[in-house]
A = this chain, B = another copy of it.
Amino acid sequence: MSGIADVALRAGVSKSTASRALSGAGHTSERTRTRVLAAASELGYVPSTNAVSLATGRTRNIGVVMPRVNRWFFAEVLEGIQATLLARGYDLTLYDAKPGSPERARVFTEFFARKRFDGLIAVGIEPVDDEIGQLQAVGRPIVSVVGAQDQPGVVGIDDVRASRRATEHLLGLGHRKIAFLGAGDAEVWANVDRLRLEGYRAAMSDAGLSASILHVPSPVTLPGGYAAAVDLLSDDRRPTAILAVCDEVAIGAIIAARRLGIAVPASLSVVGIDDHEFAEMFALTTLRQEPQEQGALAARVLLETLQHPDNPTLIEPMPARLIVRNSTASVDPSQL
């Protein structure tokens, strides 16, 4: 456990010189610098992060809050953030904040107040009431991933546009009876769900099909989509196509269709949003978003902000490309 004092001693300089040589800040002669560096590596010197933080006020640590980690999207975003921070030598402190839970309240008050991080990445956090103020009160830069597109510092795709595009794909195939599957009432993702529903509605309206708009609520999970689809598809007057709020729901719907003996895509087209890791296996047509990239971008933007606090970075919405696989086809004329 040798400290900078030991290094200084061994290099025959003062602590301050050693510090300068090691951190690169301030002037040091080439000769002493190499001597200090040598001494440090010989001793296996590792600076105490606590002492550094105390003296400088920076932690080299980033906080990440998300409502949960056991969902494909969140896990992917987390990996993207992690990789980027790691490359820059930053640590990552994770905070779990399930909506409405008492733990969440503690995170927002107690844990955030400790300010153990230089900046915060909020993923899929839709702050309610006082949470907004609590986030502000942290007094550290914040970047969000998925959230209201109108706020600054938000990384994500344009959800309205994505689901509109997906709907148009189905319309282009001749479908008229298109159901939107997903987005129950009090969901985690309420915001995103709402935006995607909106895109679907807009596309339907534009096609003169306002009357055919059909919003089927479903839990936003694979089993949830399965169950909801079983109900929906058991009806005689079932739709010819389904737009799911995300791939997990879409895949649930495909599995439901198979079980009911409904051929996909011959008798039913299904399109999702995400390009989930299972999408290929189910030949799912979907709008691809890349959560790892979103996480990486969020991290980059945040680190950039830390370096140049008054250099506000404008974040462009990320692209969402239509990936056509084999879950969508032209509508069967007999079904019209």
Binding site for B on A (CB under 8 A): 46, 48-51, 53-54, 59, 61, 68-70, 72, 75-76, 78-79, 82-83, 86-87, 89, 91-96, 103, 106-107, 110-111, 113-116, 221-223, 226, 255, 258-259, 277-278, 280-281
Contact = CB atoms under 8 A, between A and B. Distances in A.
B96 A94 contact: no
Given A70-B72, A223-B281, 20 more contacts: A46-B113, A49-B116, A50-B50, A51-B54, A61-B116, A70-B76, A70-B277, A75-B75, A78-B94, A86-B96, A86-B106, A87-B103, A89-B110, A91-B116, A94-B94, A222-B278, A223-B277, A223-B280, A226-B281, A258-B259
Contacts of A259: 258
A113 B89 CA distance: 12
Nearest to A82: B96
Contacts of A223: 277-278, 280-281
14 contacts: A46-B115, A50-B53, A69-B75, A70-B78, A70-B277, A75-B75, A78-B94, A83-B96, A92-B93, A92-B94, A93-B93, A221-B277, A222-B281, A255-B255
Contacts of A48: 54
A54 B51 CA distance: 6
A114 B86 CA distance: 13
Nearest to A63: B91
A106 B88 CA distance: 11
B70 A96 contact: no
Nearest to A227: B281
A35 to B, nearest CB: 22
Given A46-B113, A50-B59, A54-B51, A94 B82 contact: yes
A116 B223 CA distance: 40
A91 B91 contact: no
A277 B224 CA distance: 11
B78 A103 contact: no
A114 B280 CA distance: 41
A110 B87 CA distance: 11
Nearest to A139: B1
Contact of A69 (B46, B54, B79): B79
A46 B48 CA distance: 22
Closest 7 CB pairs of A and B: A70-B75, A223-B281, A50-B53, A50-B54, A82-B96, A46-B113, A94-B94
B89 A91 contact: no
A111 B82 contact: no
A103 B281 CA distance: 29
